[in-house]
Chains A and B, each alone.
Chain A
Amino acid sequence: MKHIRQRNSSTIPGETYAMVLTYNWDKPLEEHPSILEHPEMFEIVDCEIPDYCVYVNYESYDN
């Protein structure tokens, strides 16, 4: 599933996989503030989300 994750996320069980919460975002993921404001930290990927992932509630500087 296409989603935004922290770039330092790991798909190894026991390590951290951080996925950005976008369930309230109805625009393309490329327009999400996390991508626009911190592309060095977040990226858009299209892969399975591991069940041990943690979530990131990204708050834009504009808020």
Chain B
Amino acid sequence: MRKLITILLVIIGQVSFGQVYQIMPQYGYSAPRFNTDSTLQLPTFNGVPTLKSNKTNKGAIAIDSTNGRFYFYNPKTSAWSQVTGGGGSTDTTSLSNRINLKLNISDTSNMLSTYLRKTDTATLSNRINLKLNIADTSTMLTSYLRKVDTTNKFVSNVTKLNDSTFTIFKGSTQTNITLTPSTTVASATRLVTNVYNNSGFTITKGSVIYINGAHSSNLPTIALAKANTEETSAYTYGLVETDITNNSAGVVIQNGTITNLNLPTSTYTDGQTLYLSPTVAGGYTLTKPLAPYHYVAIGTVTRAHPTFGTIQISIRNGFQLDELSDVQIATVPIDSTILQFSRVDSLWHDVNPTTAMGNRFVKRTDSAAMLLPYLKKIDTASLSSRIDLKLSKVDTSTLSTRIDTKLAITDTSVFQRKNLASYTFIANNTTATANGTAQTFKDSGLKVYNGTITFTPVAPSGATNNTYRWSQIGKLVTVRINLLYATASGSTLTTLVASLPSDCPAPEIPTGHSGASTTICPAFGYLFTSVTASPTTAAATIGFLRSNSGNNGYEVVLIRSAGSVAAALITLTYFAQ
């Protein structure tokens, strides 16, 4: 029974506390898993919650206990959404990205139109102009200025004074501000100057110019340089970088490179120096101008090319004599003046020649008495007379002609005349000092004698060795004839007649000696038996030179007492014709 009672109590307990599931007819009747005590306990999920029932027209909240998130259910959208905010550590999206989610730089105006006031149709600039217009005057802006601002405190204008200076205008005051580079320029390839062209015409690129004044813009004015006058050449400044039209500013290169010029290779060569032209205004030339033109070197051709021609500009103005610091002369010196240095002021001066010579040098106007100290005491002839002794002023032949008579232009040596005529020497055969004239000088050398020989009454015989030689110095002729025979003649030989060699100079015939077989002059000779033995008295002969029997030649005759002869030695001296 006890057991039965226990079972009944259990069954009763289960039935008493059991609940039957039924649809909740309205809010607040049923709250499974919902509890409230000291806290509000909500249903938990793992991840995004889901509705248990199919009722979707009511809102709900739930907790994702796994991820620590709080969700709410929107019945209008039928979707669960995470409740965010509060700066939780899970908010890692960058501000810019989150802004882009709302408003992106790529948004078009159409996209943004929903965020604008429908009545706001003006542009941003227009709307700014409503506040501050570029046309507003200072007066209009006065109300916006701080009350402490006073006159000349605000910049009203800024102008460029030059390449490094600005002029700042504050009301009625102006201040020049020069910009100083923080670092020193170590090098530069060009030196240029801003200039103003008011010449009345365009000055073209590459023209050589000089500065001739200034313009109201504070720029120097320029004009074409030309080397024909001091005014247009002395201040040559540079070359125009690009065309400068009239009444316009431009750039002139004083030093450095100018490119893209017409310097054809047919005219120019790399390395050539250019000079300011004396004939073409603004032009340059390869020919160095000489006086009266003015020397101005422009620069050097560094590339000769018809379109890419390049000049390395380096203006070098020449000086006039009166521009030198140690020369003090008149602007226009008088004619025939010379330069003379003075140690008084260490300057060169223009002086006339007479003043320059002073008493230090002999002058044309000096009298003979003044010249006496310079003359040798024994000199009595005037200088001109003594000069005339050497070269007279009355000489009419040209100096060169007269020199040629002494020393021909064809002479190859001053001290030795190499071109003497053949068989001549130079001698003076006059009664006075005179120039030498050509005289005959000839030596025949040793030759074989082949002349006609006649012995009387008998001849030597055997092998012969007959030679001769002659020399002529001036008119004097000396002849030697040697006739040698192997075998002496018989003892009766008395006479030898030998013809004068045909190449001997013709003898001069003394007056009264005309006709055949006429004796002209003596001859000396021996007729003897052997040249190895001394001649005896008997060998001596009577000898002479005579015209032959036909009177068409000359012969030498030796006569001795009868004897034996194997050798004949003849020496003959005569004057040539």
Interface residues of A (CB under 8 A from B): 6, 8-10, 14-16, 18, 21, 34, 41, 52, 54-59
Contact = CB atoms under 8 A, between A and B. Distances in A.
B272 interface: no
A54 B457 CA distance: 12
A14 B463 contact: yes
A57 B495 contact: yes
Interface in B462-481: 462-464
Given A8-B487, A52-B450, A57-B495, A16 B460 contact: yes
B339 interface: no
Contacts, number: 61
Closest 6 CB pairs of A and B: A18-B459, A57-B456, A55-B454, A8-B461, A54-B453, A16-B461
Nearest to B494: A59
A59 B100 CA distance: 171
Contacts of B497: 57
A59 B452 contact: no
Given A10-B461, A10-B462, A52-B450, A18 B490 contact: no
Contacts of B487: 8, 16
The residue among A15, A16, A57, A59 with the most chain B CB atoms within 10 A of its own CB is A16
A10 B457 CA distance: 18
A57 B492 CA distance: 12
B347 to A, nearest CB: 99
Contacts of B495: 57
> Which size class do B's interface residues fall under?
20 to 34
A59 B457 contact: yes
27 contacts: A6-B458, A6-B461, A8-B487, A10-B461, A14-B463, A15-B462, A15-B464, A16-B460, A16-B461, A16-B464, A16-B485, A16-B487, A18-B455, A18-B461, A41-B458, A52-B464, A55-B452, A55-B453, A55-B455, A55-B459, A56-B456, A56-B459, A57-B454, A57-B495, A58-B456, A58-B458, A59-B457
A54 B450 contact: no
Contacts of A59: 456-457
Contacts of B463: 14-16
Grouping DSSP codes into helix (H, G, I), strand (E, B) and loop, the B interface class, with mixed when no group exceeds half, is strand
Contacts of A6: 458-459, 461
Contacts of B458: 6, 18, 41, 56, 58
B531 interface: no
Contacts of B457: 34, 56-59
Interface of B: 450, 452-464, 485-487, 490, 495, 497
A57 B497 CA distance: 10
A8 B489 CA distance: 10
A6 B456 CA distance: 12
Nearest to B450: A52
Contacts of A41: 458, 490
B450 to A, nearest CB: 7
Contacts of A56: 454-459
Contact of B455 (A14, A15, A54): A54
A9 B453 contact: no
A21 B456 CA distance: 10
Nearest to A57: B456
B231 to A, nearest CB: 103
A6 B454 CA distance: 13
Contacts of B454: 21, 54-57
Given A8-B487, A41-B490, A56-B458, A14 B464 contact: yes
A12 B453 CA distance: 17
A59 to B, nearest CB: 5
B459 to A, nearest CB: 4
Contacts of B490: 41
Contacts of B459: 6, 16, 18, 54-56
B493 to A, nearest CB: 9
The residue among A14, A52, A57, A58 with the most chain B CB atoms within 10 A of its own CB is A57
A16 B453 CA distance: 11
A16 B462 contact: yes
A56 B458 CA distance: 6
A58 B455 CA distance: 8
B456 to A, nearest CB: 4
A57 B455 CA distance: 6
A53 to B, nearest CB: 9
